[in-house]
Amino acid sequence: MASDVATTRRQDVAGIVRIFSTRGAYCGSLWHLGATPIIAGSRCLGFRGKSISVPDFDHSASGRGMKIHEYQGKEIFRKAGVAVPQGFVARTPQEAAEAYKKLGGAIAVVKSQIHAGGRGKGTLKEIPSQRGVQLVKSAEEAAKVAEALLGNTLVTIQTGEEGKKVNQVLVEAGCNIDRELYLGIVVDRSAKGPVFMVSPDGGMNIEEVAEKTPDRIFHESFDVDSGLQPYQARKLATLLGIKGKSIGTADKFFRALSKMFVAYDCSMVEINPLVVTKEGELLALDAKVTFDDNAGFRHPDLAELRDMTEEEPAEVRAAESGLSYVKLSGNIGCLVNGAGLAMSTMDIIKLHGGFPANFLDVGGGANVEQVTEAFRILLSDKNVKAVLVNIFGGIMRCTTIAGAIIEAYKQVGFNVPLVVRLEGTEVAEGRKMLAESGVDIIAAEGLTDAAKKVVAAAG
Give CA–CA dist 331/329, Å, rounded: 7
Q: Residue 443 in contact with residue 420, Cβ under 8 Å?
A: yes
The C-alpha atoms of residue 184 and residue 206 are separated, in whole angstroms, by 12
Q: Closest Cα to residue 446, out of 417, 418, 420?
A: 420
Tell me the three-class secondary structure of 401-415, residue by residue.
HHHHHHHHHHHCCCC
Does the active-site annotation cover 325?
A: no
Alpha-helical segments (H) within 277-367: 313-320, 339-351
Cα–Cα distance measured from residue 306 to residue 115, given in angstroms and rounded to the nearest whole number: 11
3-state secondary structure of 173: strand
Long-range contacts of 249-254 (CB under 8 A, 24+ apart): 249/83, 249/280, 249/281, 249/282, 250/282, 252/81, 253/82, 253/83, 253/282, 254/183, 254/196, 254/228
Amino acid at 388: L
From 100, 182, 325, 409, the catalytic residue = 182
3-state secondary structure string, 371-386?
Answer: HHHHHHHHHCCCCCCE
Instruction: Indicate which residue of 95, 172, 180, 270 is catalytic.
Output: 270
Report the C-alpha gap between 283 and 293 in whole angstroms.
28
How far apart (Å, rounded) are the C-alpha atoms in residues 109 and 399? 59
CA gap 202, 182 in Å, rounded: 4
**How many alpha carbons fall within 13 Å on the CB side of residue 118?**
21
Per DSSP, helices labelled H in 104-228 are: 139-149, 206-212
Catalytic residue list contains 182: yes
Q: Using H for helix, E for strand and C for coil, what is the string for 258-288?
A: HHHHHHCCEEEEEEEEEEEECCCCEEECCCE
DSSP letters of 82-126? -----EEEESSHHHHHHHHHHH-SS-EEEEE--S-S-TTT-EESS
* Active site residue ranges: 182, 270
